[in-house]
Amino acid sequence: MRIFLQISLSLLLINGSVGSIFKTATKGKCQPIDIPYCKDALPYNLTYSSSTMPQDQTSLVSSVEHFKPVIKTKCNANIQFFICSVFAPMCPPSMPQAVTSCRSVCEQVKKDCYGLYKEFEIQWPELLNCSKFPEEPELCMNPLTADKIHSRPQVSAASSCPSDLIDVDPVDPHGVCATNCGGDVMFSSEDKKSARGWMQLWGSVNGIISLFIYLTYLIDRHRFHFPEKCVFYLSLCLMLFSIPYLFPFFLTYSTMACDKLMNGEQFLAYSGWENTNCLLSFTLTYYFGMAANFWWLMYLSAGRKWVPEGIEACGNYVHLVAWGSSALMTIAVLITHKVDASELTGICSVGNQDPRTLLAFSLLPRTAVILIGACFILAGFSSMCSERVAFRGRGTDTSKLEKLMVKMGLFCILYILPNVIYIVCESYHYLILTQFYPNVWGCKQTGGVEAGLCKRPKQPQPELYLLGVIMPLAVGISCLMWIFSPKTFNAWQRFLCCGLCSSAPTKPLGPSARPLLEPPSAPLPQPPAGTSASQPHYVPMSTHSHNVWRPSKVV
């Protein structure tokens, strides 16, 4: 915003040759005002058209556009009226001549707004040189004391925001009424303080667990292959997803979630482009949150046919789907300027204030991922159950398959249950926003406080919102199912000791124990004719080799 304002102020100096109409007015006629930005800001409809000056409406509109950043700062209550009276002066039908603002109005505007130009080390535009404006008792306009004009100019009443909100763009009838930074609209100060503590606690827990899981994969990479790799990329996403929840340790609420007007007023971010911390927290929470869901889906879809070699060959496509889909959704949110901050947590995401964006970019995609994943789970367990029956029919040991089924079941439950609870909480948030948005942030679109329609709803239940904050951070526990084993302990022991740790002592054999390599009392059966004695004999696990969740052969 500051850079854009500085560029705009600089352009005013370049475009100083575009003089105002009243400056060259000698003899002409009245014509309708064709400058869109000034039609609703002036109490008259006709402006002066001089025969000595070509009426290039495009140049006039462009010149007024350069002043929009200055007008939006509200440095003076009459700044828009003053600027529009310069480029579109009043033309009384009874005496066609240009009637612009009085010198006193120009001096008051310059007094209040000169600090903006001084801050950027830019001179006051020559076009607005107050010495060139008429001085009372000459014919001129003064929105406060209009005693020199037969009708007092008054800016037409526009819709306004509630008193405890900030009108970011007063001249836009469809603008947003932003929440005052630190204001209590949907939640109380106690609710925000409680949410701050819980998000720090669960953010730390989820971050530590996810980091440990991913480091386990890095130090023992040869042990894991696709589709188990999907679980570790999932843990990486969850670890990065937790970072914004740790921001309160070193950032204030306003630094995380608020934007600032040129006049110093701070408001809760609703587009997210001005605050770097807000943009960063959105990227981490939304992008990696959606990527985690896609990696979980990739794992289930790959696990349907548990053939590591085939999945390794398609690994690049799996990465493309998981990372690429999340990137497209993130870019769509950024392009539409739908990044907004949560009043409760101060973390920026999408759909915190607008119910439509919440439905389009959060609720529907997450629900679709969970439903598709549930279908993969049902198909996978159906396949595993049929294999278990087939193994038992042939007398094959099914203990490992049963352990895999238990492991898969716990993993799916610990992942799906928090996400389902989160979707329920987001659905409740959607219902609340359908009541709050038209009466709070979209108040001007419904007629403003003047229409009497901006009646504040009752504050929602903070417990459900707090549950929605915790549930995404509890998903990391599900990934522990894939590393919670003695192999993980041995891998970390080798890594931390750098191979210098001594091996565990071998337990002495008891009197009744038999050595593992004791020669058999009876000779082993000879292999069939034509079969090498050194080759192990493989027994197929199932004839349904196209529908297997584990390697298709065992010794």
- Listed by start position, the domains of the chain span 2-156, 177-497
Residue with token string 């209590």: 184
DSSP state of 550: S
pLDDT of residue 416: 92
Which CATH fold topology does 177-497 show? Rhopdopsin 7-helix transmembrane proteins (1.20.1070)
C-alpha triplet 225, 228, 230: angle, nearest 5°? 110
- DSSP H or E run through 497: helix 486-497
The three-state secondary structure class of 117 is helix
What is the full per-residue pLDDT of the chain (555 aa) written as tens digits?
A: 443 444 344 444 434 434 444 444 445 678 888 887 787 777 788 887 754 444 556 667 777 777 877 777 778 888 888 888 888 888 876 666 688 888 888 888 888 887 777 777 677 888 888 888 888 777 788 875 443 333 334 333 456 788 788 888 776 777 788 899 988 899 999 999 999 999 999 999 999 999 998 898 888 888 777 777 888 899 999 999 999 999 999 999 999 999 888 777 889 998 877 889 999 999 999 999 999 999 998 888 765 554 455 556 676 888 898 899 999 999 999 999 899 999 999 999 999 999 999 999 999 999 999 999 888 888 888 877 888 888 888 888 778 878 878 888 888 888 999 999 999 999 999 999 999 998 888 888 877 776 677 888 888 989 999 999 999 998 888 888 777 778 888 888 888 887 565 444 444 444 444 443 344 444 545 555 554 444 444 444 444 434 434 443 333
The interaxial angle of helices 2-14 and 103-119, nearest 10 deg, is 120
Tell me the two tokens of residue 127: 């076009």
Q: Which of 214, 220, 206 is nearest to 233 (CA)?
A: 214
- DSSP H or E run through 211: helix 189-219
Q: Which of 231, 271, 542, 529 is nearest to 408 (CA)?
A: 231
CA distances from 265 to 75, 506, 534 (A): 12, 72, 82
First to last CA, the chain: 69
Q: How many CB atoms lie within 10 A of CB 316?
A: 9
Q: How many CB atoms lie within 10 A of CB 13?
A: 15
Rounded CA-CA distance 326/350 in Å is 14
Rounded CA-CA distance 250/434 in Å is 34
Identify the sign of the CA torsion 174, 180, 185, 186: positive
Contact (Cβ atoms closer than 8 angstroms) between residue 348 and residue 282: yes
pLDDT of residue 516: 39
Q: Is 131 exposed, middle or buried (0-12, 13-18, 19+ CB in 10 A)?
A: exposed
CATH number, domain 2-156: 1.10.2000.10
Cβ neighbors of 158 (< 8 A, separation 6 or more) are 40, 170, 171, 173, 448
What residue type is assigned to position 124 of the chain? W
Contact (Cβ atoms closer than 8 angstroms) between residue 549 and residue 400: no
Rounded CA-CA distance 184/194 in Å is 14
pLDDT of residue 57: 61
Q: Is 470 exposed, middle or buried (0-12, 13-18, 19+ CB in 10 A)?
A: buried
